[in-house]
Amino acid sequence: MGDSGMDDDLSSLERKSISMIREAKAQFKNMAVLWSTGKDSTATLWLCRKAFFGKIPFPVIHIDTSYKFPEIYEFRDRLAKEWDLDLIVTKNEEALTNGTSPAKGKLDCCTQLKTEALKNLIRKEGFDALVLAIRRDEHGIRAKERYFSPRDENFSWNYADQQAELWDLYVKPSEDFTHMRVHPILHWTELNVWQYVKREGLPINPLYFAKDGMRYRSLGCMPCTTKIPSNASTIDEIVKELETTDIPERAGRAQDKERAYMMQKLRSLGYM
Amino acid sequence: MIILALDALDYQQVEKHHCKNLMQAEHGQTDISDFTLPRTVVLWASFLTSKNMEAKIPIEGQWEFTLQPDETFLRFVENHHTVDVPALSLKQRSHAEERDLLKKYFQHETTIETYDSVVLRNHEENKKEFFKSMGKFDLLMGYFDLADAVGHLSFGVPERTSEVYTELEGIAEEVRSSTDDTVLIISDHGMKALGRYGDHSENGFYSLNRPLKLRTPKITQFYGLIEERALR
């Protein structure tokens, strides 16, 4: 495929994402977008900027677990200033004070420092819609997601009973949910995101670029994220690498979570 | 009567792997919905006594919980033998070793291969003892934890699960070909995949070499059947 064909594809992905973001803004009174500072959520912020001609008209939420890389905090603060973001940084201070940490159990740590922190913020700010940068190709369970996905107060999601989203008609608000998850880049692939980062000249966290033969492919908290062997030190080289790899993007993180979850299940059954 | 107690033998996996000898003449799913958690010791104790033993067996110290034979269906049979049955004749040292290695695996202190090799060694020991006892008792009950122990770390790896079901199918074939007695094959619970790992599920299994047309029996209901066979 030539560059113009790729640009056509990216423009088509971009159009659909922007229309979804505008649709959500029209439907919901109090929405926000989640930003981890990773490539997907940064591309999503860019799409939000484009949807509203340069200024995002809703808050940008960053969940701070306190265990993130220093590069993440630097990148966050720099871009928030440059893009004039209405940034809300939230933390589960109570859990941190009580000693929650990856060393005491990764699953519990994620639940307390990410999920509970977000739940508390939603309750406090009364958000009725959240834009999230998840993609179907990231993980098996995400392949079942819809573009507009209602959640209850426990963040539960009934994936076995979802409405179809035909002809770009998305799920409308109903009384059965506390907030709507909006996934504008659900249909993108990891490669699409990098191609888009390159085309749009987006700023990107330096952790993604290889140093001494290793780089991060997916960014999370320091103790739970591992590097992959790679020599890709530019966006072009990352794109080239992704065109040939068959290793899943979150391989360095998903297995840790499964392991932590299984350990917890075995504990509950009395095996350890 | 012969009882093959196969921990975590999963109804769906038996069908998926076409294990004809495990299925016998009649097979189906058991009902363990009365239990809050599908815990191994609780389910076997309930099978042995016909009572839901959940409240009597706290998680703390559950593996050491032991019934007296006259509290179980063994009271109906004078000449009986059990091999490594939880809540009755569990080989404490072997299972403690397996649980210790399981813990070490999650602490990154050992590998799945080391854990599996100990599980397999214990399995072979039980197999030897069980087949040595065949034909010598009116009631012989042998417990094998292969599907559960290997499944916890590898249920999501199809090749490994196939190996386990091939091995258990082989045991069922050998039992069936060497007795005319009633053979009950039963599991405490089934298993479901959690990525590469395996968690207990409600897909419990039973089969009989003589059809009784049971309909999703509760695990506690087999007591009556065993009593009836024993007193006949």
- Minimum Cα–Cα distance from B101: chain A residue: A272
Give the confidence band of B118 by pLDDT, cuts at 50, 70, 90: very high
For residue B1, what pLDDT is reported? 95
Yes or no, beta carbons of B40 and A258 under 8 Å apart? no
Structurally, chain B folds into a number of domains equal to: 1
Which tens digits make up the pLDDT trace of B28-71? 999 999 999 999 999 999 999 999 999 999 988 999 999 999 99
Yes or no, beta carbons of B194 and A259 under 8 Å apart? no
Strand runs labelled E in chain B: 2-6, 26-29, 80-83, 139-144, 183-186, 190-194, 197-201, 205-208
Question: Two tokens at A265?
Answer: 């299940």
A–B CB contacts, 8 A cutoff, strictly below: 44
For residue A154, what pLDDT is reported? 59
Residue A157 has pLDDT above 90, yes or no: no
Residue B190 has pLDDT above 90, yes or no: yes
Q: Can you tell me the distance from the alpha carbon of B147 to that of B198, in angstroms, rounded to the nearest whole number?
A: 10
b vs e for A75-90, b when ≥16 Cβ sit within 10 Å of the residue's Cβ?
A: bbeebbeebebebbeb
Q: Can you tell me the distance from the alpha carbon of B26 to that of B22, in angstroms, rounded to the nearest whole number?
A: 10
Nearest CA-CA distance, residue A173 and chain B, Å: 32
Count other Cβ atoms within 10 Å, centred on residue A41: 21
Residues B199, A262 contacting (CB under 8 angstroms): yes
- List, as ranges, residues 244-263 from A with C-beta within 8 Å of B: 254-255, 258-259, 261-263
Query: Which residues from A are below 8 Å from B197, CB to CB?
Result: 258-259, 262
Q: Can you tell me the distance from the alpha carbon of B212 to that of A71, in angstroms, rounded to the nearest whole number?
A: 68
For residue A170, what pLDDT is reported? 62
- ipTM of model over 0.95: no
Which one of B197, B200, B201, B202 would you mutate to disrupt binding with A, by most A Cβ within 10 Å of its Cβ? B197
- Beta partners for residue B191, in sequence order: B200
Average confidence (pLDDT) over B127-156: 96
Residue A18 neighbours by CB under 8 Å, 6+ apart: A47, A50, A51, A184
* 3-state SS assignment for residue A60: strand
**Chain A CB within 8 Å of residue B176 CB:** no
Nearest CA-CA distance, residue B40 and chain A, Å: 8
Name which of B98, B96, B95, B144 is nearest B117 in CA terms.
B98
- Residue that has been written with the tokens 């979850």 in this structure: A261
Yes or no, beta carbons of A269 and B40 under 8 Å apart? yes
Query: Which residues from A are below 8 Å from B194, CB to CB?
Result: 258, 261-262, 265
Give, as one character, the DSSP assignment of residue A175. Answer: T
Q: Which domain holds residue B199?
A: 2-231
Strand runs labelled E in chain A: 31-34, 60-63, 87-90, 129-131, 148-151, 179-182, 214-215, 228-229
Q: Can you tell me the distance from the alpha carbon of A260 to that of B141, in angstroms, rounded to the nearest whole number?
A: 35
Name which of A181, A190, A192 is nearest A131 in CA terms.
A181
Q: What is the pTM of this model?
A: 0.57
Helices (H), chain A: 3-27, 39-51, 70-82, 93-97, 106-110, 117-125, 190-200, 235-242, 251-268
CA count, 13 A, side-chain hemisphere, A63: 22
- Beta partners for residue A180, in sequence order: A129, A150
pLDDT, chain B, mean: 94
Name which of A173, A204, A189, A205 is nearest A245 in CA terms.
A189
Nearest CA-CA distance, residue B195 and chain A, Å: 6
Q: Can you tell me the distance from the alpha carbon of B3 to that of A244, in angstroms, rounded to the nearest whole number?
A: 53
Average confidence (pLDDT) over A108-128: 89
Average confidence (pLDDT) over A58-77: 96
Architecture of domain A3-182 in this structure: 3-Layer(aba) Sandwich (3.40)
For residue B6, what pLDDT is reported? 98
Yes or no, beta carbons of A258 and B102 under 8 Å apart? no
- Domain harbouring B128, CATH code: 3.40.720.10
For residue B167, what pLDDT is reported? 96
Residue B135 has pLDDT above 60, yes or no: yes
The domain ranges of chain A are 3-182
Name which of A158, A241, A156 is nearest A194 in CA terms.
A241
pLDDT, chain A, mean: 85
Q: Please say whether the dihedral angle defined by the alpha carbons of residues A159, A163, A164 and A168, taken in this order, is positive or negative.
A: negative
For residue B50, what pLDDT is reported? 97
Name which of B189, B184, B179 is nearest B226 in CA terms.
B184
Considering CB atoms only, which of B41, B59, B194 is closest to A261?
B194
Q: Please say whether the dihedral angle defined by the alpha carbons of residues A230, A235, A241 and A242, taken in this order, is positive or negative.
A: positive
For residue A173, what pLDDT is reported? 54
